[in-house]
Amino acid sequence: MNNSSNINTAGNPLLGGRGAVSVIGAGTMGNGIAHVFAQSGFKVVLVDVNPSQLQRALDTINKNLDRQLSKGTITEEQKKSTLANISISSIINDGVKDAQLVIEAATENVDLKLSIFEQMDTYAPAGCILATNTSSISITKIAAVTKRPGHVIGMHFMNPVPVMKLVEIINGYATKKEVTETIIELSKQLGKIPCAVNDYPGFIANRILMPMINEAIYSLYEGVAGVEEIDTVMKLGMAHPMGPLQLADFIGLDVCLSILKVLQDGFGNPKYAPCPLLVNMVLAGRLGAKSGEGFYVYTPGSKDLVVSESFK
């Protein structure tokens, strides 16, 4: 699909950094998305039902801006203006009422996302584009719970959002061409590289990535090699910046499991069946970096990679 766009940006409040954007969900992805839009000049409302999560998100954005400041990539004035562009709300109807674009960035749970989209559709203004940051769930399925399926689109950012350039732009069955063109152009104005794809399970990134991670877990499960050996082979042999098991920990093992289930259900192909080891680790609450242990153990303040005792 051709990613080029010849649309006229004049008069479109979303293009040129003049628009109002709401982000639903103040977790890792949501605060990163809010950061990027606010830094590009947009007025952003960050929405989460949990007030303490909103405060953690603001703290994270502030810390990430300080990191950019220390590297000389932004000025103190840019930091101040970015923070000034962000407001918070714990109520969806209040948080989206003035938006030209709403981006849902909740956890990768189908029922939760459908519920949020029903509310977004109810309270967002007519003509507002409704986007989801889902990494695997059908855009067409999400759009079906709204009365504006032509204005629903996937906008899958990569983690960490302020650093990673890629945005997968996913068209649902009914997504209007002008909506796709607007979101592609908008992504470019954020300094991102958009790749437009069609609506199939896992899109591109996770359709390719998750089977690789699953196979790495199977290799550990079957005793082919240990954690360090598997990751070292992929880092040195395939020039990956981190091995698949470390990457799985970084993504979250619960997220990996959820995506694999979407792939398995969507394609009906047993090759996507999640490894039993992955299933058991998630059931045990060993979710990777966010829980403190996955294939590796994570100690606050330490960057050392220490393999979990379970795999030594």
Residue of 40, 135, 136, 214 marked catalytic:
135
- Contact at 8 Å (CB) between 133 and 104? yes
Residue of 156, 185, 214, 293 marked catalytic:
156
**Would you say the C-alpha torsion 223, 224, 229, 235 has a positive or negative sign?**
negative
How far does Cα 125 stand from its chain's mean position? 24
What is the C-alpha to C-alpha distance for residues 307 and 286, in angstroms, rounded to an integer?
Answer: 13
Question: Is 156 tagged catalytic?
Answer: yes
Residue of 5, 64, 187, 206 marked catalytic:
206
Residue of 40, 108, 151, 168 marked catalytic:
168
Q: What is the DSSP string of the chain?
A: ---------TT-TTTTT-SEEEEE--SHHHHHHHHHHHHTT-EEEEE-S-HHHHHHHHHHHHHHHHHHHHHTSS-HHHHHHHHHTEEEES-HHHHHTT-SEEEE---S-HHHHHHHHHHHHHHSPTT-EEEE--SSS-HHHHHTTSS-GGGEEEEEE-SSTTT--EEEEEE-TT--HHHHHHHHHHHHHTT-EEEEEES-TTTTHHHHHHHHHHHHHHHHHTTSS-HHHHHHIIIIIH--SS-HHHHHHHH-HHHHHHHHHHHHHHH--GGGPPPHHHHHHHHTT--BGGGTBSSEE--TT----EE-GGG-
What is the C-alpha to C-alpha distance for residues 131 and 116, in angstroms, rounded to an integer?
Answer: 11
Instruction: Return the active site residues.
Output: 135, 156, 168, 206
